[in-house]
Amino acid sequence: MSDLEGLAREVALCTGCPLHHGRTKAVPGEGPPDAQIMFIGEAPGFHEDQQGRPFVGAAGRFLEELLASIDLTRDDVFIANVIKCRPPGNRDPLPDEIEACRPFLDRQIDLISPKLVVTLGRFSMARAFPNARISRIHGSPRKINGVLYYPMYHPAAALHQPSLRRVIAEDMERIPELIEQIEQIDESPPPMEAEQLRLF
């Protein structure tokens, strides 16, 4: 069993926060263990909870379209979430739930060691860009501890606000160019400094 499979098994058995009481299936994430690009969403919804797989509902269909626009399929990338069990009624994840799940996501990023981590939505963005506003920083990459993070709106945002569809599609289209330029992107200053320098 690979380390990632072992981790997925731990996730399936996890009782680290109350969300395990209501889950049908935990959703550890999926994709090649050596994926160059990792997408991190927020939390499983109804369909993900039923199937134990990330992004298999309406937002997932849009994500697949976006991937196709840069000649990728979901089998080319690793897709995970900030929390691995569905919150009741799809409410926002609570800080304690995010903390309880954090070690799993940290380990996934370490094991996969992707060239690019694309954060989808504000909960995922907050890992790398605490206190930032997604409307300001979407589409602005930042390297932290050797990992390049790229914040994007959550695909579900476009389902509620159709004008975001184009914004999300444009941010997605920049990904191939970012992968090419990765070596030239410098490590970013710590968040406070970045804020003071008005980098975003």
Helix, strand, coil share of the chain (percent; to 5): 50, 10, 40
* One residue of 16, 41, 93, 141 binding ligand URA per CB under 6 A: 41
Task: For residue 188, give both structure tokens.
Answer: 């970013």
Stretch that binds ligand URA, among 18-26, 44-52, 93-101, 129-137 (CB under 6 A): 44-52
Nearer CB in complex with ligand URA: 57/151: 57
* E strand map for 35-192: 37-41, 78-81, 116-120, 142-144, 147-152
Q: Are 80 and 111 within 8 A, CB to CB?
A: no
Stretch that binds ligand URA, among 40-48, 66-74, 133-141, 176-184 (CB under 6 A): 40-48
Signed CA dihedral, 106, 111, 112, 113: sign only: positive
Residue 55 binds ligand URA, judged by CB under 6 A:
yes
Task: Name residue 131's amino acid.
Answer: N
Residue 98 binds ligand URA, judged by CB under 6 A:
no
DSSP state of 17: S
* One residue of 16, 28, 31, 45 binding ligand URA per CB under 6 A: 45
Residue 28 binds ligand URA, judged by CB under 6 A:
no
Residue 118 binds ligand URA, judged by CB under 6 A:
no
Task: For residue 161, give both structure tokens.
Answer: 């606000």
Residues that bind ligand URA (CB under 6 A): 41-45, 48, 54-55, 57, 59, 81, 156
